[in-house]
Amino acid sequence: MTNKTSRVQPAGLLAQLIRRRLLRVATLAAAFSLFALCVAWHEAYDRPRHHDDELPIAQALADDAGQAAQSATSGQPSTDTPAADPDLVKRGAYLARAGDCVACHTADKSRPFAGGLPIVTPFGTIYTPNITPAPDTGIGQWTDSDFLRAMQQGIGKSGERLYPAFPYAEYTKVTGQDVQAIRAYLNTLAPIHYTPPSNEMRFPFNQRWLMVFWNMFNFTEGRFVPDPKQSAKWNRGAYLVEGLAHCEECHTPRNILQGLKTTDRFAGASQAGWHAFNITPDKNSGVGHWSDDELVSYLSTGAVPGRANAAGPMAQVVADSTQYLSAEDLTSIVTYLRSITPVVGGETHPRDQWGTPANDVTALRGTEITGVNGAQLFVANCASCHSWTGQGVGASAPGAYPSLIHNTTAGASDPNNLAMVILHGVSRTTKQADVLMPAFGTELTDAQVAAISNYVTRQFGNPQAMVTTEQVANLRAQQQ
């Protein structure tokens, strides 16, 4: 007779498997819940300790509480806004220039600071917000503490997580006093009633709460702490470059989460088809062979004859921001950039040490041209300003047409900027000159743009930097 208790029936095995699986699921759920609780606790209680320069945020919180108490007592909203200190507003205007706030928060120049500029990311398109004091569509109803929290913690008025297209990862280093000065300046702007389009982020990236996890790997809250071993000029430069001017946002490559790659700081990166060059002190790949005066001149005018001429996003940075910085701040920025770790990018010699004059205009005489010819297209479209020799017109005058020989755009190992300049032209207005190069994107085909670009790099620049018709088509499609 068989003992039924000596063996497990198939039904019993199935029940055991189900129990084990349920136990595993329950364990994973419990672990995830514990992790979520840890994150929530960290967000609520484990904030980094504040430094003395953050006292204004405490004052702002107290002021907001006082306004709320006044409103509760009177039964009416408080309308008594203290008059802004003119010196504070003036300082805020300067700091807003240093941060180039107008660049991202202006899509239509007739509506400055009203937002709506599309920023294309791998996860979708973000439209910048209106930061005029309009009460319904801007930040007119934001308190000072709301503004501080957004700048320093990346959290909006309603507690929503901000996307890092807004560079709070750098702005967190800005002191409370400077943030308050910027807010005082923004309060003096004309309110503009304009609601930017809604963001177009793909799932799950449209879930703002997921920014908690992004912040864990890419964001450290805390104000800039001066290095006592460095000079006051170095510390000022570090404060600007790492904080308000947020230079790394364009000049540092990104990791898989679109955070900054800290191992390659300032080594150069691509933005919307444009290449922001290596600005480390490496003598070949970076700006190590530039003089201090040349770097200051580039930031203040956008042009250094025989080296570089700002175009694309950098031209806008110069026009809207760096040309307005004081000589002291510009030299401080250069002092700091000189000290960062050089990053070798693989170039054999500096970008501005290529090229010889051309004589193709003579060689082309009487020649029958078939197909797309770069030399012919250059003579027809470019030579009137840059000379058929490529040596430019106007020498080193502020409004000169630059030489393509010893030119960082033509000599770069990445040909994107040259093709983008041909497609979109150059517009750079400074105190010294109003520089304009027409866009040829509507006049030339992708094949023609590629042919001119390759002719320029082969004759005047880096002959290894070649671009294909397909690459030009992709650059043309980039939203600017």
Mean pLDDT of 41-69: 40
Query: Cα–Cα distances in Å, from 350 out to 108, 458, 473?
Result: 38, 16, 28
The 3 state secondary structure assigned to the chain is CCCHHHCCCHHHHHHHHHHHHHHHHHHHHHHHHHHHHHHHHHHHHCCCCCCHHHHHHHHHHHHHHHHHHHHHHHCCCCCCCCCCCHHHHHHHHHHHHHCCHHHHCECCCCCCCCECCEEEECCEEEECCCCCCCCCCCCCCCCHHHHHHHHHHCECCCCCECCCCCCHHHHCCCCHHHHHHHHHHHCCCCCCCCCCCCCEECCCCCCHHHHHHHHHHHCCCCCCCCCCCCCHHHHHHHHHHHHHCCCHHHHCCECCCCCECHHHCCCCEEECCEEECCCCCCCCCCCCCCCHHHHHHHHHHCEECCCEECCHHHHHHHHHCHHHCCHHHHHHHHHHHHHCCCCCCCCCCCCCCCCCCCCHHHHCCCCCCCCCCHHHHHHHHCHHHHCCCCCCECCCCCCCECCCCCCCCCCCCCCHHHHHHHHHCEEEECCCCEEEECCCCCCCCHHHHHHHHHHHHHHCCCCCCCCCHHHHHHHHHCCC
Answer yes or no: is pLDDT of 448 > 70. Answer: yes
- Per the domain annotation, does 305 fall within a domain? yes
Confidence of residue 34 (pLDDT cuts 50, 70, 90): very low
Read off the pLDDT of residues 457-466 as tens digits, 9 standing for 90 and up: 999 999 999 9
Residues 98 and 219 in one domain: yes
Last residue of a domain, one of 339, 370, 394: 339
- Nearest one of 159, 153, 129, 333 to 240, comparing CA atoms: 333
267 and 142 inside one domain: no
In this predicted structure, what is the pLDDT of residue 363?
81
Query: Could you tell me the two tokens for 116?
Result: 């709506």
160 and 117 share a domain?
A: yes
Instruction: To the nearest 10°, report the CA torsion of 416, 419, 421, 424.
Output: -110
Spatial CB neighbours of 456, under 8 Å, sequence gap ≥ 6: 374, 378, 382, 390, 404, 410, 418
Residues 308 and 374 in one domain: no
In a domain, 256, yes or no: yes
Closest CA to 418 of 388, 458, 379, 359: 458
**305 and 179 housed in the same domain:** no
Q: What is the CATH number of the domain that holds 288?
A: 1.10.760
Q: What is the mean pLDDT of residues 256-274?
A: 92
User: Residue 345: is its pLDDT beyond 70?
Assistant: yes
Question: Which domain range does residue 108 map to?
Answer: 83-196+215-223
* Domains identified in the chain, total number: 3
Q: Would you place residue 369 in the very low, low, confident or very high pLDDT band (cuts 50, 70, 90)?
A: confident
Checking if the pLDDT of 146 tops 60, the result is yes
90 located within any domain: yes
- Sorted by sequence, the CB contacts under 8 Å of residue 218 that are 6+ apart come out as 164, 169, 255, 257, 259, 260
CATH number at residue 453: 1.10.760.10
Specify if 37 maps to a domain: no
Query: Residue 316: which pLDDT band, with cuts at 50, 70 and 90?
Result: very high
Please report the pLDDT score of residue 271 as a whole number. 87
367 and 387 belong to one structural domain: yes
**27-31, 139-143, 163-167, 200-204: segment of lowest average pLDDT:** 27-31
Same domain, 219 and 243: no
Cβ neighbors of 452 (< 8 A, separation 6 or more) are 374, 377, 378, 381, 382, 422, 444
Q: CB within 8 A of 478, min separation 6: which ones?
A: 120, 272, 273
15 vs 198 pLDDT, higher one = 198
* Confidence (pLDDT) at 472: 97
From 150, 152, 147, select the one nearest 51 (Cα to Cα). Answer: 152
Between 309 and 31, the higher pLDDT residue: 309
pLDDT at 24: 60
One domain, residues 121 and 191: yes
pLDDT-based confidence at residue 14 (cuts at 50, 70, 90): low
CA-CA distances (angstroms) from residue 117 to 192, 367, 436?
A: 15, 48, 23
Q: What is the pLDDT of residue 212?
A: 93
Confidence of residue 84 (pLDDT cuts 50, 70, 90): confident
Higher local confidence (pLDDT), 54 or 26 = 26
Q: How far apart are CA 359 and CA 390, in angstroms?
A: 9
The verdict on residue 151 lying in a domain is yes
Residues 247 and 219 in one domain: no
| CB neighbourhood size of 58 (10 A) | 13
Choosing from 206, 223, 240, the residue where a domain stops is 223
Together in a domain, 219 and 245: no
Q: Note the pTM of the prediction, 2 decimals.
A: 0.81
Phi, psi for residue 396 in degrees, rounded to 5: -105, 15
Task: Specify whether 104 is located in the same domain as 219.
Answer: yes
Residue 15: the pLDDT is: 56
Is the Cβ–Cβ distance between 189 and 94 less than 8 Å? no
Task: Report if residue 97 sits inside a domain.
Answer: yes
- Which tens digits make up the pLDDT trace of 237-256? 999 999 999 999 999 999 98
> Is residue 5, in this structure, part of any structural domain at all?
no
Q: Considering the chain, what is the average pLDDT of its residues?
A: 86
On whether both 333 and 365 belong to a single domain, the answer is no
> Does residue 365 belong to any structural domain of this protein?
yes
**At residue 344, does pLDDT exceed 80?**
yes
Q: What tens digit of pLDDT does each residue of 289-308 get? A: 999 999 999 999 999 998 99
Among 74-83, 130-139, 360-369, which stretch is predicted with the lowest mean pLDDT? 74-83
